């Protein structure tokens, strides 16, 4: 009897491991919004980590988060490290590419609750009196990431935060004096 239970349990575990191994390694979460601010004003609020944390919805999940900044204040090489509660964990974001009013690309490195890396892009496309801003996060899941993806949908977890963040970014950028001067 115990032998049959152990064989059955081993079979279930083997099937689970096969399902995990066959899951796609790539992941991507992306949201876009048409914001009433020029690309330069939006870019400025992403390309500088201190400005980014003012509207970043993830930082709002922990009012006591500890942020540390290193490298240049803005642009390539600027780093923001955070250490927060269970909702945001700990990690760092490094700007690895920056093209004025076009793109900010960050390398994300999470330390907890689970280690992982990803790339985050912010792109800006003028369209009439608005700018289409796209916030995308993508990368590859390791085996443990694939296991977690069976139980947690990254798009459903992060997508609503991206939408909220884009709305807050638009409000902040539209309210800055530079946004009004550039828009004329």
C-alpha pair distances (Å), 16 with each of 6, 120, 141, 147: 15, 30, 17, 9
pLDDT tens, residue by residue, 110-131: 898 878 889 999 999 999 999 9
Q: What's the average model confidence in pLDDT over 163-181?
A: 80
pLDDT higher than threshold 70 for residue 181: no
Q: Could you tell me the pTM of the whole model?
A: 0.80
pLDDT in tens, 17-37: 777 777 777 888 999 999 999
pLDDT digits (tens, 9 = 90+) for 60-96: 899 899 999 999 999 999 999 999 999 889 999 999 9
Q: What distance in Å separates the CA atoms of residue 109 and residue 70, rounded to the nearest whole number?
A: 15
pLDDT at 149: 67
């Amino acid at each position: 009897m115990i032998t049959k239970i152990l064989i059955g349990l081993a079979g279930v575990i083997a099937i689970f491991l096969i399902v995990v191994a066959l899951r796609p390694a790539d992941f991507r979460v992306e949201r876009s919004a048409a914001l009433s601010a020029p690309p330069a004003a939006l870019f400025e609020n992403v390309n500088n980590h201190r400005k980014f944390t003012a509207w970043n919805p993830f930082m709002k999940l922990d009012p006591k988060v500890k942020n540390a900044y290193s490298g240049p204040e803005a642009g390539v090489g600027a780093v923001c490290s955070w250490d927060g509660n269970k909702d945001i964990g700990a990690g760092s974001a490094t700007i690895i590419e920056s093209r004025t009013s076009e793109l900010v690309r960050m390398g994300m490195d999470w330390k907890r609750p689970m280690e992982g890396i990803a790339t985050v892009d912010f792109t800006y496309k003028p369209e009439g009196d608005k700018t289409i801003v796209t916030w995308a996060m993508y990368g590859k899941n390791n085996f443990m990431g694939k296991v977690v993806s069976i139980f947690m949908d990254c798009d459903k977890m992060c997508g609503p935060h991206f939408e909220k963040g884009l709305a807050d970014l638009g409000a902040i950028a539209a309210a800055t004096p530079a946004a009004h001067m550039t828009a004329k």
